[in-house]
Each structure stands twice: as C-alpha cells, then as structure tokens.
C-alpha cells in the first residue's frame, strides 16, 4: 500500500463516522510545545498561537503528515477567565492556523474548549456557560468544521458545554478526562456517557489523564452504559502517550513524575498500533491522542488502520512497516529485527536500574 499522494474529497465528521470510516485525531500540543520552549508549564495556556505561530503551524503540519484527519485548534484553557484580554485574539489565531494547515490536506478543523477553573469553586452555571459561549462565538465566526468539549473531570460541567456548543448547529464531540472509576463526583463512565448522549452530543469518549489501556477500559464502560440505556453515539478516544497503570482516580497529574519526568513512560509506536487495533475492535472510530502523543504515534494509528482506511499517510513514505527498513542494515542481528513478531513481543528496558517500574500517586 502506497502513501496517499494528495488531498481527497473532504467530508464532514459525521458523514465519515456514519459511513463507518476511521477518523484519526491529532496529538499532544501542551506538553510537546512546552518541551520545545513555546508553552509555560503551570499556566498551560496557548499564547504560542500569537507569540510563536510558526511553532504551532509546524506541529499541526507534522500531525497532518502523520495521518491526522482532524486538527484541533490550540485553544486549551483559552477562556477569558484564564487569559483576560488576550483570549479572543488567541482563539482567532488558533482557528486560522489550524485552517491554514488543514486546507493543505483532507483534514477537518475542530474548535476545542475545556473545563473551566471556576467549576470546582463556584459552579456558577450561568457564568461558566457565558465563558463557553464567548469561545463558541469565535469558532462560529471562523467557521470551524465541528466542535469538541474536552478534558472535563465533572460530567455536569461537560453537559453545560454540550448545551452551549449545540447552539452553533455544528456536530459536537465531548470527551472526559476520567478513568474507570468515573468522574470526580463518582458518576460512573456509563452514566457519564448516558448524560452526554441525552444532552445531544454526537461523539462521546475520553481524552488525556490516562494511558492507552486504562482509557480503553473506560471506553468499554461508556459503550456498555450507552447500550444498556438504548442510546447511540459515535465513540472517541484520545489517550496519553504515556503508560500510567499506577495512577489513581486523578490520572497522571497525581504521579510524582508529572510533568517533567514522564519520558521513561512514553509509549512505543508498537504500543500505539496495539492501542489503535484494540480501540477499533471495541467499536471506537475516532482515535487519536493527547499529552505525550507525538506525530509518530499518530502515524502508528494511521498505519495500523491503513487496511480499513485504504491508504497510508504521507509520513509512511519514510517508515518501513514493522521495521522492514532494517533489512538494509549491515549488521545481521539488526536485520533480524525487520519483522513484526520481533517488535510485537519486545519488552523494552528503561535503562534505569535503580528506578522503580511503578510510582505511588501523591494524591
């Protein structure tokens, strides 16, 4: 199978999902741009779209080339309460950058917003909805293709976000940053999915906070909840690019390595191929990543699901399937690694003999 040569006919997100197509999401922005020197840890706000647009454009381009069908606007935490007077310019610039890159391929642009800092302390529904609505006004003016409410710890606030986003008349996706234990008010994943479907979300799932296997466990519970209630929605998963089997209910933010010592936990490309296949077998058709999910991870999704999609991404032109490019190596023991069985069964070492394999969460 050869990499696709040029743009294909652009279809909407629901048209693709209704047809049973695989939609590959994009990946990490905050942690990746922090490592590259364009985002400040702690604040985690996206001024880079205005201050360093070339850096954001480059990352969008890498995800597109790796096979992403959706480019999310880099608007995480870009609400007025977090960014004051800068919020509107940041949201507008983020939309323009995503559209500029998406139009060079077959990608859709998703306008994204996330949970607010107000909910935990005030739960002021009117004020929180007003913050969402102001972001939505920019997304509508910039004519994004669909909308994503992501990274919600509480289903109540996620429902409020869905209520607002539906006002634009565009498809709405919503993802929660929860694990199998449910949201921070102990609402189970299945109950969360039901509430979100009842609110009118078209696409439901999880993102961030947890690694591939834990996220898929949560998706299974969400799917079961929807099925038991006789409700339907498309399913979406965008997990971490890290292994986090030892984190608690709060996810990777409670691990002592967060955010500057997570590198030993990075998933291999082969781990992500397994994640993509298991997500597909579970019935999830929108599959991407979040923090720690680099462009090569997105390429791994696109390559694993190439038989279902019917094509490889452009970045596969420089990547031999399952290490096949190693056949050209001069050393025979490295040539012997040019096979799927080797990489599927490898148990990679961390190279850190005095470090534990698991940590104890701080919370």
pTM of the model: 0.96
Query: Quick one: pLDDT at residue 10?
Result: 82
Count of domains forming the chain:
2
What does the alpha-carbon distance between residue 263 and residue 206 come to, in Å, rounded to a whole number?
A: 22
| Pair of tokens at residue 340 | 């799927």
pLDDT for the residue 363 = 87
Tell me, yes or no, whether 140 lies in a domain.
yes
Residues 240 and 332 in one domain: no
| Domain match, 331 and 215 both | no
- Co-location of 305 and 325 in the same domain: no
Residue stretches of the chain with pLDDT short of 50: 5
pLDDT of residue 9: 59
Q: Mark out the alpha helices in 20-149 (DSSP H runs).
A: 30-35, 48-51, 53-66, 80-83, 87-102, 125-141
- 208 annotated as ligand-binding: yes
CA distance 314 to 66: 7
Residues 236 and 340 in one domain: no
Rounded to the nearest 10 degrees, what angle do helices 53-66 and 87-102 cross at?
40
Question: How far is it, in rounded angstroms, from Cα 330 to Cα 47?
Answer: 47
95 is in an annotated binding site: no
Is 290 marked as a binding-site residue? yes
SS3 of 150-206: EEECCHHHHHHHHHHHHHHCCCEEEEECCECCECCCCCCHHHHHHHHHHHCCCEEEE
Q: Cα–Cα–Cα angle for 104, 133, 167, nearest 5°?
A: 80
- Do 256 and 326 lie in one domain? The reply is no
Residues 329 and 224 in one domain: no
Q: Are 16 and 23 in contact (CB under 8 A)?
A: yes
Q: Residue 85 is encoded by which pair of tokens?
A: 């007077």
Tell me, yes or no, whether 308 and 333 share the same domain: no
pLDDT digits (tens, 9 = 90+) for 48-90: 999 999 999 999 999 999 999 999 999 999 999 899 899 999 9
Assign 240 to helix, strand or coil.
coil
Percentage of the chain exceeding pLDDT 90? 94
pLDDT at 3: 64
Binning the chain into helix, strand and coil, the percentages to the nearest 5 are 45, 10, 40
pLDDT by residue (tens digit) across 163-182? 999 999 999 999 999 999 99
* Alpha carbon distance, N-terminus to C-terminus of the chain: 47
The C-alpha atoms of residue 66 and residue 56 are separated, in whole angstroms, by: 15
Question: Are 105 and 135 contained in the same domain?
Answer: yes
Give me the phi and psi of 65, to 5 degrees please. -65, -30
Which range of residues forms the domain containing residue 26?
13-312
The secondary structure of 16-30 as a DSSP string is HHHTT--EE----SH
Three-state secondary-structure class, residue 319:
coil
């Amino acid at each position: 199978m050869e990499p696709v040569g040029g743009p294909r006919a652009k279809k909407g997100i629901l048209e693709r999902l209704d047809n049973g197509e695989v939609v590959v999401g994009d990946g990490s922005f905050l942690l990746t741009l922090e490592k590259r020197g364009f985002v400040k840890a702690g604040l985690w706000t996206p001024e880079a779209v205005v201050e360093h647009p070339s850096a954001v454009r480059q990352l969008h381009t890498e995800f597109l080339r790796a096979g992403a069908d959706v480019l999310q606007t880099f608007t995480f935490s870009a609400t007025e309460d977090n960014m004051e007077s800068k919020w509107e310019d940041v949201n507008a610039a983020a939309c323009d950058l995503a559209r500029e890159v998406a139009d060079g391929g077959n990608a859709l642009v998703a306008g994204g917003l996330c949970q607010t800092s107000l909910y935990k302390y005030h739960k002021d529904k009117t004020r929180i909805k007003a913050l969402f609505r102001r972001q939505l006004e920019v997304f509508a003016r910039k004519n994004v293709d669909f909308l994503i409410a992501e990274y919600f710890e509480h289903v109540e606030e996620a429902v409020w976000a869905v209520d607002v986003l539906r006002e634009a008349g565009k498809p709405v996706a919503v993802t929660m940053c929860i694990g199998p234990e449910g949201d921070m008010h102990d609402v189970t994943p299945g109950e969360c999915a039901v509430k979100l479907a009842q609110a009118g979300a078209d696409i439901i799932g999880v993102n961030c906070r947890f690694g591939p296997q834990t996220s898929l466990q949560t998706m299974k519970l969400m799917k079961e909840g929807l099925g038991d209630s006789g409700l339907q929605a498309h399913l979406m998963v965008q997990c971490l690019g890290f292994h986090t089997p030892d984190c608690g209910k709060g996810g990777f933010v409670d691990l002592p390595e967060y955010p500057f010592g997570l590198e030993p936990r990075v998933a291999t490309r082969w781990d992500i191929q397994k994640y993509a296949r298991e997500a597909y077998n579970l019935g999830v058709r929108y599959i991407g990543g979040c923090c720690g999910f680099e462009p090569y991870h997105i390429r791994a999704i696109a390559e694993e699901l190439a038989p279902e999609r019917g094509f490889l991404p452009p970045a596969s032109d420089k990547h031999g399937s399952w290490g096949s490019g190693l056949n050209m190596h001069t050393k025979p023991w490295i040539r012997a690694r040019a096979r799927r069985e080797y990489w599927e069964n490898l148990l990679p070492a961390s190279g850190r003999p005095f470090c534990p394999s698991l940590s104890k969460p701080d919370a």
